[in-house]
Chains A and B, each alone.
Chain A
Amino acid sequence: MKKLIELKNISKAFDENQILEDFNLYINENEFITLVGPSGCGKTTLLRIIGGFESADSGQVIFNNKDISLLDANERPINTIFQKYALFPHLNVYDNIAFGLKMKKKTKEEIDELVNWSLKLVNLEKMKTRSIDRLSGGQQQRIAIARAIVNKPKVLLLDEPLGALDLKLRQNMQYELKELQQDLGITFIYVTHDQEEALSMSDTVVVLNDGIIQQIGTPEDIYNEPKNRFVANFIGESNIIKGRYLGNKLVEFENTIFECVDTNFVVDEPCDVVIRPEDFDVVPLKQAKLTGIITDKVFKGVHYEFCIDINEKEYIVHAYEDKEIGDQIGLSVDPFEIHLMKVNENENT
């Protein structure tokens, strides 16, 4: 795979607030990469620096081996889909989509052809002459997509584009965006705070917090092998338990010894044990490695979510069979479902 965009030593501060410091990242051609993190983590700033709306205090943005840091937004082969779409209210659908092409001084025929092509891609061929304020949220979203892709950018930046849509529509648009990206072969850089969205759409997920990359990897890596407490908590639900590595693929937590698959720890090293709620198996009390009391339960459709008190610590467990609050419950975990993390001394939780 070929590197398309490289961010080198990017720093950016607003007033005294350092958002990014010495930030490095590269993005491959045709990649669907998602920057995910809580609000204020620097993901939107990063996107705006790539788009050319914000200039970094220091560092470079490299595009196709060329430094584009000093180029203005209108000179970059990159287009953006904005949070609230930023469609121009004084122009109708056609003129909104044609806007970028007119700037490039394309002929009328070319513009016509391209606008029709992009409207077809987003399934809104009939809306050509509509005014913007007579479109629904979902339609506005599609027009914003059409307006960006009609320029055939090498890279498309998407700043929480689905944030304003309702759940059902959001899920549909996720599929459509993914399909669009594969059909068009455009690199997508996607920003969201929604971890589910990040997992379901991306080739690569970048988890950000406080302007620092916590982990880069495929959605599976990120979910199954979070590198630290932040990632484990932010991506999906986790039970994080303090433990001790005993050597020989054995780990001890809750006064019990478990088999595990991690090996890169020294004997007696303290570690954080991550177990996803769905990775616990409910077993008869006799076979249980851990036992606890159910303190709360919520029906979630496919499964139940139980809060379980084990040694006065609260665990979250997903299970299919119904139990009553106050019942005793026995649990076990398969070795490959136990993930060990290095203890990071900087983290105080």
Chain B
Amino acid sequence: MKTRNISLPLYLIWLFVLVFIPFLIMLFLSFTKTRGLDFSHLVFSLDNFKDILDPIYFDAYVNSIVLSAIASLLCLLIGYPVAYILTNLKSNKLKNILLAMFILPMWSNMLLRIIGWEILFNPHSILNSIGISFDLIGSPLAIIIGMVSTYLPLMIFPIYTSLNKLESSLLEASYDLGASKFQTFKSVILPLSLPGIYSGLTMTFLPSATNFALPERLSGGNINLLGNIINSNFGKSFNYGFGSLLSVILISVIFVLVFFINRKDKDGDLLL
């Protein structure tokens, strides 16, 4: 067969231009001091590498990792059983309605959902009228709740997909070989849904650590995460060099993660 479909080479060029070239530029900028993308006044320097170790950023690194890790583990703790329950629902109608209800929040604007929590967590809120007052703005808890609420569906769906792929004959075989329900879960279901768990963790951890709007709103500016630092270096201070270095590090981490998921997930359909 003669192939006339040139879409693939075009796509690879497109990815090269929009993913790889910006990466190279950011890698290059990491070794410079610059304001914005002004190449004429660019000075080579390793200051960015010194800055990155500056203690004022340490909190942000630690917060990014700790808060996002807690949030994605919570997502896993809630998301796995929910995905499991959804998979095993006998009524197709109920299953579809619940699936729809878990997708739907993504249609509600992310910023407004965060603002919803912000309003709730203010000491002075509409809840005062019914005698409740939270004072959570600025606390790690507020940020964690915000993260879980924003990204929970991204944990449920990959796990749901991987559980759905499990053939019932595998479970029957496990019971047939004498395994109890719990043993079957532990030694058949869980290992086979690991790819879903991995991509779920990736899909919740990374956005949590890099979303700048969420901590901005829910911490009242008290807590900064990685996303805030990158955002302020690109958006506000035009310190592209430092912002680039952070981005390059982040991309490298992501590169490793995608590589890992790609190897685990042969069908390549668990990221949805």
Contact = CB atoms under 8 A, between A and B. Distances in A.
A/B contact in complex, CB under 8 angstroms? yes
Interface of A: 53-55, 72-73
A232 B95 CA distance: 60
A239 to B, nearest CB: 43
A86 to B, nearest CB: 15
Contacts of B53: none
Q: Chain A interface secondary structure, helix, strand, loop or mixed?
A: loop
7 contacts: A53-B1, A54-B1, A55-B1, A55-B2, A72-B1, A72-B2, A73-B1
A128 to B, nearest CB: 31
Interface in B1-30: 1-2
Contacts of A72: 1-2
Interface of B: 1-2
A73 B2 CA distance: 10
Top 7 closest pairs, chain A to chain B, by CB: A53-B1, A54-B1, A55-B2, A72-B2, A73-B1, A55-B1, A72-B1
Contacts of B1: 53-55, 72-73
Contacts of A54: 1
A224 to B, nearest CB: 41
A46 to B, nearest CB: 16
Contacts of A53: 1
B210 to A, nearest CB: 42
B99 to A, nearest CB: 24
A76 B2 CA distance: 15
B204 to A, nearest CB: 36
Nearest to A70: B2
Contacts of A73: 1
B5 to A, nearest CB: 15
A72 B3 CA distance: 11
A72 B2 CA distance: 8
Contacts of A55: 1-2
B110 to A, nearest CB: 37
A301 B1 CA distance: 49
A265 B152 CA distance: 82
A53 B3 CA distance: 11
Nearest to B1: A53
Contacts of B2: 55, 72
A14 to B, nearest CB: 13
